[in-house]
Every structure is written in C-alpha cells, then in structure tokens.
Homo-oligomer: A and B are copies of this chain.
C-alpha cells in the first residue's frame, strides 16, 4: 500500500498553465492535486466530466464556476460538478489550492514529456 503521506518524491509535478503547476497523486478511487499559483497565474476556462471539489489552502484566488464568481482565501471550499466550465486566477500574490477529482484521472499521473 502506498504511504498515507505522499511527500515530494511521491508527487508527480504537472505544468498546467504558465505560472501554475500541480503536485498530483492517486488515492484509491480519487485523484488528489495540490495546485501552486505564482502571482497572476491563471487556470484558464475549461471543463471535464469529473466532479472536482477543493479548498483554498493559502493566498487568494478568483474562482469563476459556471456563472458564479467569488474571491476565495484560506479555508474556503468550492465544488464543481462534472462538465461545468471554470477558471481560477491567483490575485494579490502566490496561492495554493487543493483539488480532489472523481472519478480518478489516471492520465494526470503520467509524467509529462
């Protein structure tokens, strides 16, 4: 069984967008992704069939989910149903968010070339 505590060496790093990387690992049925935004980093509008839920860990970001918009900071929760367009923009400096996907996204766990 993999460690309950994935550390840096266990996490796959993915370049998502300019100024945005993710540290990703697998659960049993879920995929976990800790997303690190440099100042002004933006996850552009996109959607996927997977449900995505998460929490803002540190910093601030503007979340646009469907037709809703909020500025989130540490401890704020969000939930994105499958298929809903969303965009996330760091504001006022760097930021970290934590995402969980269901169903799992095994393609996320393949290192980028």
**Which residues in A have some Cβ–Cβ distance to B below 8 Å?**
1-6, 11, 25, 27-30, 32, 34, 51, 53-55, 57-58, 63, 65-66, 68, 70, 72, 74-82, 84, 86, 96, 98, 100, 102
Contact = CB atoms under 8 A, between A and B. Distances in A.
B76 A5 contact: yes
Tell me the interface secondary structure of chain A in the complex: strand
Given A68-B5, A102-B102, A58 B79 contact: no
A3 B68 contact: yes
Given A5-B65, A5-B77, A53 B72 contact: no
A63 B30 CA distance: 20
A1 B55 contact: no
